[in-house]
Chains A and B, each alone.
Chain A
Amino acid sequence: MAVRRLAEQQPDSFAFTPENSSWAEKEIAKYPEGRQASAVISLLWRAQEQEGWVTKPAIETIAHMLAMPEIRVLEVATFYTMFHLAPVGTKAHVQVCGTTPCMLRGSDELKKVCQRRIAEHPHEVSADGAFSWEEVECLGACVNAPMVQIFSDTYEDLTPESFEAILDDFAAGRTPRPGTQVDRQHSAPQSGLTSLTEIDGGSEQVLRDPPRGAPVEGKARERVEGGNGASVPAGKPTPANEDLAGGVPEEPQQAVGRNEAAATPSGKQELAGRPTGAGRPDEEAARSEPTDTGSENLGAEPHKETTQEQAEKGAGREPDKTSRDASGGTDKK
């Protein structure tokens, strides 16, 4: 980590787009009177999504919106490394995980690819302005190391070759399929299941290896034009694997406990109560595209029957059922 300063070249002004403005108003209204400053991170994040990076005028604008001293907003913006204080690549900003597991699995090679294809130094924008990269600390996908994060999506199990293919896709304006880039489901063993191969103690039925969805083609995600013409990604943070993300918007942490939470009605309500990407139809479309089963459960199982069955089971449960029960039941099909 280096000393984080505002970029030398700064735009003259910043304004939220009308949609983002009304979103920001709602966001600020979430906090009680006198505590508006609590919205500073979400506003900064939205400003970064809009502009690609956090600009000085954006900091000043947000400080004004939240009636905060500017230095306080600057403190937040410089504290969190996720806020880019300088322009990043317009097509992709690659965050290469360099923490131990990824390093052991070859993140150095990925960095070399970045240095060769993008720029010699991190945070440097490539000659055409389309790409930039940086090394980041653990992004929590160690089982699928090495990995990179580009905007809101992670690309895992990379080799220099598959990483280059992903960069090619971004260069061509396509959005590659996020998640693991090898033939396995999520973080499941590539060689097939090694444990929990039997269901319900004595059953002989063995879970098949789930099939992989066909990658990439036709999945290019729409990119929206930012308020000032800068191309920015549509995505908000979404779970690494789009297969699972369909019905669980804005719940990245659900990657672990997803089926438990979703299997109980209360969990559903909770999710339903979350803000969806209202006003951002492109994002919604992108999100529901990969699988449109609408299943909140461990929904990679392509058998529609089973999915519905699970859904029914899930819906019928008492709200206070423990999640352990729920997941046990899910397995029992």
Chain B
Amino acid sequence: MADTRTLIVDGTEVEVPVTYTLLQACEAAGAEIPRFCFHERLSIAGNCRMCLVELKGAPKPVASCAYAVRDCRPGPNGEPPQVLTKSPLTKKAREGVMEFLLINHPLDCPICDQGGECDLQDQAMAYGVDTSRFEENKRAVENKYIGPLVKTIMTRCIHCTRCVRFTTEVAGVSELGATGRGEDMEITTFLERAMTSELQGNVIDLCPVGALTSRPYAFKARPWELNKTESIDVMDALGSAIRVDSRNTEVMRILPRTNELVNEEWISDKTRFVFDGLRTQRLDRPYLRENGRLRAATWQEAFAAIADKVKAAAPEKLGAIAGDLANVEEMFALKELMSSLGSPNIDCREPYSPLHPKNGRASYVFGSTIAGIEDADAILLIGTNPRVEAAVLNSRIRKVWRAGQTQIGLIGEPADLTYSYAHLGAGPSSLDSLAAGELDFLDVLKKAERPMIIIGQGALNRADGASILSRAVKLADSIGAFGEEWNGFNVLHTAAARVGGLDLGFVPGEGGLATAEMLGMEGTAPLDVLFLLGADEYKLDAISDTFKVYIGSHGDRGAHGADVILPGAAYTEKSGTYVNTEGRAQMANRAIFPPGQAREDWSILRALSAVVGKTLPFDSLTELRNRLAESDPRYLALDEIGDVAMDGLKSLSGHAGEKPGSEPFVSCVPDFFLTNPIARASAVMAECSSLRLGPRAEAAE
């Protein structure tokens, strides 16, 4: 690490590690180096030549992205190597490269979706010349079909191969390639098949020109007319950093932001392309079920109907379930409302989930942290398919796997995870035999300095979940996953709301009912009134007698079964805190307003509380947040994970509980593209889903 080398970049002396490339060294010295093919997170190709700089002593300009600091020779008298990024030679070299790049580039910027945010456009302005000496015909390339998400205009391609390297290295599917050679080189998939990666949308961001653009966003907007709102994604439990680009009342597109600790700079396709689901299937006014049919109603009518039922019901006959997309503020409001109504029946967890805040925070968060995956030297996946449950996190696992030192084992459904792993078995019995030392992988885990156990919801949300959780904790303890500096026990959530809810204590109180009981999965329906805060993933058939109040944004499963629908805001339409799977509280911001009469969910609950006579003690989001911070100061420290207490977790290993069942673990995400009401409302996601799974009959609901 301490091995550094001194360079002189444009007269500035700079000391950089020998592992740096010249380009990185120049950047460290504050010099700007134009580039197309180079990307920090991809391998070095060195084929665009835009990063040429003059290196004193070298006969020709060198491609700084591919030239190691280690290889720079000192001057004749031992003076540090000198790099010139503003010399006439460098300038001429850049102009020459740019002229070559533009020879075959169509210069159709006025009709190009990349216009305004195009690397080639910007760099041609900065480093190019204003004429071309090329008088011959330009090359034209046929467009390729590479899937429903990425549109290709291949004549614009400058062959930087970033997309090929991304799909091969990060996404882990070798689907894109460069056929032909020289001028005839073309980027394509084999036989123009659609790409299968769930990270493929990132090639749109990577493409420095307009060759790969977003198909759903094609010809919709120009970057300079969009309002850009920094926010947090809720499609999975990672809380990826996103930027929501909106125009007037519409979200036009969603782009990733860089957050090294969570998503680096990638987002999954669901995150990126779900935005058309924000416009369709929206609940824009309250509905009331009369004589078995839903009719549009006013807020007053809806509230009055709810108030009647709530006042008529005994407190223990009231219940509330928070769904997957709820933010902390609205869950807090709902929790306060329920407690003021005197009901202990609240739950934010999936049926049979054994996760509980009483066991300490470490028992339900991703303890190693997402960035910590890169330090792991052995990973055991239990009942999870991270590729569909958390695609960006999966690329992190792939990254550490590619580094070559990490071994990965899986207990659960075998699947193509984009890396090789040892499949240790399908169900709880394999977990037992692993713990008993019957499988060699136990040695791998024991030898590892920083072993990781990632347990998915597929292993937990079942009747024997508690016993499996205990066994997993016991195994983690036995392999030394709980070190001074290292917590190797990780719960991978799939719902953006889950950890926030658990942190909040949105679980049944004394004598309260859990989700499964409230939904009538254990015998008869016990409740008279059930509040569903965006809870769409559950079957409501068994509780047809219960008066169901659905608060949410989309007309999906929850709304279909509800007796009163209160239209809420989607995640792009409200400011709210989400706690991701590692326990990091992050703030999502409002990009647009909710449609029609829809309101932010917390304010709906606040208004409702007044109608039922239990007015909540806050009138604004700020007041709500102040109360929230009073109850738990953790919410003041945004973007931090906070304290993860281990005590409760370790006590779990003490009682491994009854013997678990024998059913194999099944991933809780059967269809990556259709995991929440917004995605199910999206035509793009539907197309991706049918492409992935083949055409299916419409689910009859």
Interface positions of A (Cβ within 8 A of B): 1-4, 6, 56, 68-72, 74-75, 78-79
Contact = CB atoms under 8 A, between A and B. Distances in A.
Contact of B189 (A1, A68, A71, A78): A71
B175 A78 contact: no
20 contacts: A2-B184, A3-B180, A3-B184, A4-B179, A4-B184, A56-B191, A68-B174, A69-B175, A70-B190, A71-B175, A71-B177, A71-B188, A71-B189, A72-B174, A72-B177, A74-B179, A74-B190, A75-B179, A79-B179, A79-B180
Contact of A78 (B174, B176, B180, B191): B180
A75 B189 CA distance: 10
A3 B186 contact: yes
B182 interface: yes
Contacts of A74: 177, 179, 190
A78 B174 CA distance: 17
Nearest to A79: B181
Contacts of B179: 4, 71, 74-75, 78-79
B178 interface: yes
Interface centre among A2, A4, A6, A74 (most CB of B within 10 A): A74
Nearest to B142: A3
B190 A4 contact: no
Interface string B160-199: 0000000000000011111111101010111100000000
Contacts of A68: 174
Interface centre among B174, B175, B179 (most CB of A within 10 A): B179
Contacts of B184: 1-4
Interface centre among A1, A2, A69 (most CB of B within 10 A): A69
A224 to B, nearest CB: 31
A20 to B, nearest CB: 23
B354 to A, nearest CB: 41
Contacts of A4: 179-180, 184
Interface of B: 174-182, 184, 186, 188-191
Contacts of A6: 191
Nearest to A59: B190
A1 B177 contact: no
10 A-B pairs with the lowest CB-CB distances in the bound complex, closest first: A69-B174, A71-B177, A78-B179, A70-B190, A71-B190, A3-B184, A75-B177, A79-B181, A78-B180, A4-B180
B19 to A, nearest CB: 25
A75 B178 contact: yes
A79 to B, nearest CB: 5
A7 to B, nearest CB: 13
Contacts of B178: 75
Contacts of A3: 180, 184, 186
A228 to B, nearest CB: 22
Nearest to A81: B181
Contacts of A75: 177-179
Contacts of A56: 191
Given A56-B191, A71-B175, A74-B177, 19 more contacts: A1-B184, A3-B184, A4-B179, A6-B191, A68-B174, A69-B174, A69-B175, A69-B177, A69-B190, A70-B190, A70-B191, A71-B174, A71-B177, A71-B188, A71-B189, A72-B174, A72-B177, A74-B190, A75-B179
Contacts of B189: 71
Contacts of A69: 174-175, 177, 190
Contacts of A78: 179-181
A68 B180 CA distance: 18
A94 to B, nearest CB: 23
A75 B191 CA distance: 12
Nearest to B174: A69
B180 A71 contact: no
B66 to A, nearest CB: 21
B269 to A, nearest CB: 20
A272 B147 CA distance: 52
Contacts of B186: 3
A75 B178 CA distance: 6
Contacts of B188: 71
Contact of A1 (B174, B175, B182): B182
A79 B182 CA distance: 9
Contacts of A70: 190-191
Contacts of B175: 69, 71
A117 to B, nearest CB: 29
A6 B175 CA distance: 17
A75 B190 CA distance: 9
A58 to B, nearest CB: 14
A71 B144 CA distance: 14
Contacts of A2: 184
